[in-house]
Every structure is written in C-alpha cells, then in structure tokens.
Amino acid sequence: MSKPIYVLSGPNLNLLGAREPEIYGHQTLEDIRRLCEARASASGREIVFRQSNHEGELIDWIQEARLQACAVVINPAGYGHTSVAILDALKMVGVPVIECHLSNPAAREAFRRQTYVSLAATGVVSGFGAASYELAVEAAAGLARQA
Ligand code: CA2
C-alpha cells in the first residue's frame, strides 16, 4: 500500500468561504478536501487532509508525516510568516514539502512577503485559490513518484 500525501492547513482556514471571498474565494475547506482527493486519486494516491488552529498540533502531524507520508502539502496560513518551530519540523520531515497559499502573499502586505516555511519547501504554489491546493497535490504526487 503506497503512503498518502499529507495535506495540512493552518489557522483560520476552517472558516474559508465565510469571509473575505474576494481574497480567498467562495470554496470551503471541505470543497478543497474533495478537490484534493480527486486530484490525488488521479495520480494513484490517497490524502490525509487536516486543519488546525494550533501550532503544536501542526508540528505533531508534520512529525507523523516523517513515517506515514510520501509528501506534505502545507498551507501554514499566518504561521508561515511567524513559525520557526514549523520550519524546524518541516526541515526534519525527509519527504518533499510543497507550500501552498490561496492568495499570492507576495502581492499583499509587506509582512506576508517573508515565509519561514518556504525555506523548507521544494516548491510553492500561490495565488490560484482552491486550485493552489490541487496543483500542489499534483506536484507532490509527481515528486513522490520520483523519490
Ligand atoms: O493565501 C493564503 O492561503 C494564506 O496562507 C492565508 C492566510 C494568510 O495569513 C497568509 O498570508 C496567506 C490567512 C488565512 C485566513 O483564513 C481565512 C478564512 C476565512 C476567511 C478569511 C480568512
């Protein structure tokens, strides 16, 4: 049985679809889960799809991915701009890491231009709304195949 792609989402993303649709789109996180599942399945992979508002829980899941996952897709949300601890965990994960964002943080406020997570990412997909997750899952499946 091949290992799944872990798709992790950070704080506040459980509220997607409810506020700021002009920035983050109308789709809910459940809609995005379904899109990711379909995209992974087209590549013969399964996903483990989780969201947390808590830094430590995200770190626990990244550590779990070390043994259980073939790749990690992560939208760290606000923690991407602040969390050295999540960066440290990702550096130790030992499988490809794809960072994704619904919006394009580089085109927004200056404080969003730095993301610690990018330092541990093989690649970053930003600015395509829910499709950022789908593209990231496809990239992760491709990298996992090569590994
Ligand atoms: O564009 C992204 O995906 C972000 O990771 C979203 C984060 C933001 O801090 C990053 O700079 C870019 C914010 C997530 C907030 O989630 C919301 C959920 C529902 C409605 C509004 C925001």
Which of 8, 13, 73 has most ligand 1 atoms within 8 Å of CB, for mutation? Answer: 13
Within the chain, where are the H helices?
Answer: 21-24, 29-42, 55-68, 84-91, 130-146
pLDDT in tens, 118-138: 999 999 999 999 999 999 999
* Rounded distance from Cα 9 to ligand 1 centre (Å): 10
pTM surpassing 0.95? yes
pLDDT at 92 over 80: yes
DSSP structure class, residue 147: -
pLDDT at 76 over 80: yes
Residue 89 Ramachandran class (φ > 0 left, ψ -120 to 50 alpha, else beta): alpha
Residue nearest to atom 19 of ligand 1 (CA): 16
* Rounded distance from Cα 49 to ligand 1 centre (Å): 17
Can you give the pLDDT at residue 21? 84
| Termini Cα distance of the chain | 16
pLDDT at 1 over 70: no
DSSP structure class, residue 92: T
Residue nearest to atom 15 of ligand 1 (CA): 12
CA dihedral in degrees (134, 49, 45, 123; nearest 10)?
50
* Rounded distance from Cα 2 to ligand 1 centre (Å): 31
Q: At what angle do helices 130-146 and 29-42 cross, to 10 degrees?
A: 30
AA letter at 129: G
Q: How many CB atoms lie within 10 A of CB 37?
A: 16
pLDDT in tens, 2-35: 999 999 999 999 999 878 888 888 899 999 999 9
Provide the annotated active-site residues: 24, 101
Can you give the pLDDT at residue 24? 87
